Structure 1
């Protein structure tokens, strides 16, 4: 690693101790730590989302910008002006599980590409990529929204995080969290090491994929320093995601909190198929060609015969009309006055 890279990484590590911008970005419409909230819709299955096209109906929402899709690059999250932070947020939650995201981070000073798990009680698990650092990925976690700024880890990545797609995997159980880069294990967090499980992420999570400007001039000074400096909006910055595999280790329709503890033991699982499961396994409507191919031969023969009969009738009517018109024309010619001869 070059001397400049060493100093850059050291500065980043120092800034991470002083500020936690990721935690500042999250909020909860209803926090079960102090309120009774509606159940969270479960994933209740496993699925690989390929972002060469719009995600299946009802699985993700797009916020704070536009996400474009292409066969070659996958989903493109672009910041082209101040105020944009395009993000895909899942409509489903998973309760312990695994995600594998194939991602190429965005360049740009102050630009942050991210993979975030977040819960209603503000448990959180992160991958973050700083636009000014092409060689490292950051991992982080928070429990119940507590701003503990010493949880971040920085990990070297073989090849550029901005020029190549890499597989960023997180595996989560009630006992431990593990992070992997391109199938190589890089970090483990034991539940007992997170303030004796109190701040260990342990409640149903939704998945967010997005990009934001930590270097926006309106951000707090500490966030701008952590992100690598002030963002210049003179050019666009794009993060790409080809696919995301999500596995819910629980099965059921929805998750609810039985008390205000924020403990995994308080989570109740409603039985049944989730909305996400139904959407992902919905049989697509058949095309006209497929419907035709499914018809019995006898039905097809009947349709052919009926079509032939209709064609014959139409031809007969056309011939009758033609003959009638000819006769009418002859009658008109016969009744017409003869021209005078001088």
Structure 2
């Protein structure tokens, strides 16, 4: 997959051509302008939520444009309600008030788990942790969705596109794809399929043990793959292409098999999504997540430290030795604020009140996010107020790669009770479909296209 930052593609996201064209873009040798200083994970510039999780410091206006990231927090997250989840249209960086940020619609199921849902004309659901992990042991207990074109994912993603993946393609329920990336650099040799029993019918615990010197991928406590840092040396770049920067946990369900995607993506995903599929219930595809466990490890030896609350980058190299642990602020006063001006809040009663209380006016600002998203500039919520496209079509690639996790619709994600939901039976995957992924790895692509697409 290309730059596995991927967040599924949806043509409707690009329908507002005039708005899309007006949003400044960012990337190598093209940093964001001062007026919209934060480069989102979709390669577009804005303020507010653009400056929070996923803000890329390498392509933002300056290293201080992105807000500092909350440090790792060891915890066992029982995903039994929406009380610890805040929609991305409301979250302003206060990780003490929410452990997860959502886009799309997570739904409570029988008061003991959450469903990631994907209805027609949406790009699914994404949950992202508010706390980052800079090495640790991360486990997710879950089941996946199924069907051609339907992809479930549990990944780690850093703001500079270091990535570690478990990905599940809905036509192969007996394997999970493991993968890793360094700064989003495409390497189709990094992927490896791991055997597992039916991922829809059976609840499994998937674990990433991420150490400074190696990564292991485990299923139900059994180590299935190990990648050592010393195996990732790139002689041309003279550096290790190994994930090494603070990353968020991401759990997602997204439609890789859309007709607007490149043929490589569609082939990797097993075909086009069938929106009349019997695998849909209550009008949507679903994956279930019961628990996420995080055990934080100490930062690497010799790390830069001037505090204990947040991670920042002190160089555009974006490598392990350029991370500092500080006491810098992680909260914005409004969706008009940035890391360069975190106290900016047009809705506050007074500038002094905003300065003394960074969260002041947050509710007013969040309610204004939707209207701000349709205005000329600046854009405030990535994926809601603007779509992005950082990928390319890799049709014809025959091995390696991974189509990554990650994206959600513009729904606020309030969710609802799952009392009427029942999981269906799982028809067997055909041998032909299964062998496509068992042999030769996966074909992948990333076309990132999010948009203001509401559930119908």
Q: How many residues align?
A: 255
Query: Residues 46-65 of structure 1: matches in 2 within 5 Å?
Result: 46-56=74-84, 57-63=97-103, 65=104
CA contact (8 A) 2:3 2:184 kept: no
TM-score relative to the length of structure 1: 0.69
Deviation (angstroms), 1:78: 1.4
**1:287 equivalent in structure 2:** none
Retained in 1: the 8 A contact 2:106–2:116?
Answer: yes
Is the 1:112–1:211 Cα contact (8 Å) retained in structure 2?
yes
Q: Offset of 1:40 from its aligned partner? A: 3.2
- For residue 274 of structure 1, report the CA deviation from its aligned partner: 8.7
1:227-246, Cα deviation, whole Å (9 max, x unpaired): 11110111431100000012
**Aligned equivalents of 1:195 and 1:33: distance in 2?**
22
8 Å contact kept, 1:40–1:93 = no
The equivalent of 2:138 in structure 1 is 99
| Contact 1:43/1:248, CA 8 A, preserved across alignment | no
In structure 2, distance between residues paired with 1:162 and 1:228: 16
Q: Which residue of 1 aligns with 2:63?
A: 36
Structure having the higher Rg: 1
SS in 2 for 1:76: strand
**Contact 2:4/2:181 (CA < 8 Å) preserved in 1?**
no
Contact 2:253 2:287 in 1 (8 A): yes
For the aligned residue pairs, the C-alpha RMSD in angstroms reads 2.2
Contact 1:27–1:122 under 8 Å retained in 2: no
Q: Report the equivalent of 2:265.
A: 223
- 1:213 lines up with 2:255 in the alignment: yes
Structure-to-structure mapping, 1:1-342, within 5 angstroms: 19-20=1-2, 22-25=4-7, 27=42, 29=50, 30-34=55-59, 35-37=62-64, 38-56=66-84, 57-63=97-103, 65-71=104-110, 74-157=113-196, 159-196=197-234, 197-234=239-276, 235=280, 236-250=284-298, 252-270=308-326
- Counterpart CA distance in 1 for 2:153 and 2:241 is 21
Is the 2:143–2:201 Cα contact (8 Å) retained in structure 1?
A: yes
Q: Is the 8 A contact 2:67 2:329 kept in 1?
A: no
1:31: how far off?
2.4
- The structure with the greater share of residues assigned to strand is 1
Q: Which runs of no fewer than 5 residues in structure 2 stay unpaired?
A: 8-40, 44-49, 85-96, 300-307, 332-456
The TM-score, its normalising length taken from structure 2, stands at 0.53
Unaligned runs of 5+ residues in structure 1 are 1-18, 276-342
For the structure 1 residues 188 and 228, does the alpha-carbon distance in structure 2 shift closer, same or farther, using more than 3 Å as the test? Answer: same
Q: Which has the higher contact order (CA 8 A, sep 6+)?
A: 2
Instruction: Look up the match of 1:14.
Output: none
Change (3 A) 1:20 1:163: farther
Q: Secondary structure at the match of 2:6?
A: helix
SS, match of residue 286 in structure 2? strand
**Would the aligned equivalents of 1:257 and 1:268 in 2 still touch at CA under 8 Å?**
yes
